[in-house]
Amino acid sequence: MFYFVTIPIYNGFLMLGYSTVYTSLPVFSLVFDEDADVIAILSYPPLYKTLQKGRAMNLKTFMVWLFKSIFQGTTILMLGLFMFRDSFTNIVMITFTSLIMTEMLNVYTQIHRLTFPMALMQVASAVVYFISIILMREYFDLFYFDSTFLLKIGFITIVSWLPF
């Protein structure tokens, strides 16, 4: 794609931010998820028999998650590279922002009941990301941040997230 030269799309700072700052709060917010109240759980223990037997985490679940992540990652990068032929900095900003938003939407699809701490963690993660866009000017082009930027991010995010 880049004249047969391998170039990493995301540098070390972005990868560090993705794994520790931008997505850790939304994923950790799943701890606060409740699919049933305590009274129902104590009254009807057979509801959680499959969890007690350990059948919720198996090879099929792993393979579904693996396929989902490969599909989403491939969709985000290919749409960012092939459909929107901008400068390399703009491709990094579009695909990385779409990756963060897709991860936040994935967390929303996993929860059963949205609580205030969960929503607060999602908003805090998004605010930290957009502050880092402003502070890390060498990785993000702030002059490109306009309505077409938001349309491109929205299109890529919806195409990668909506099938699941």
Whether 86 is covered by a domain: the verdict is: yes
- Whether 84 is covered by a domain: the verdict is yes
Cα angle for residues 69, 142, 26 (degrees, 5° grid): 35
Q: Where are the alpha helices (DSSP H) in 79-115?
A: 88-110
Domain limits at 143?
12-161
Tens of pLDDT, residue by residue over 9-57, are: 787 788 888 888 888 888 888 888 877 777 877 787 776 666 666 666 7
**How many distinct structural domains can be found in the chain?**
1
Asked whether residue 2 is domain-assigned, the answer is: no
Q: Does residue 3 sit within a domain?
A: no
Which tokens in the block code for residue 150? 């938001």
pLDDT at position 76, please?
92
Q: Highest mean pLDDT range out of 55-64, 79-88, 140-149? A: 55-64
In a domain, 49, yes or no: yes
Tokens of 5: 């030269």
Residue 44 lies in a domain: yes
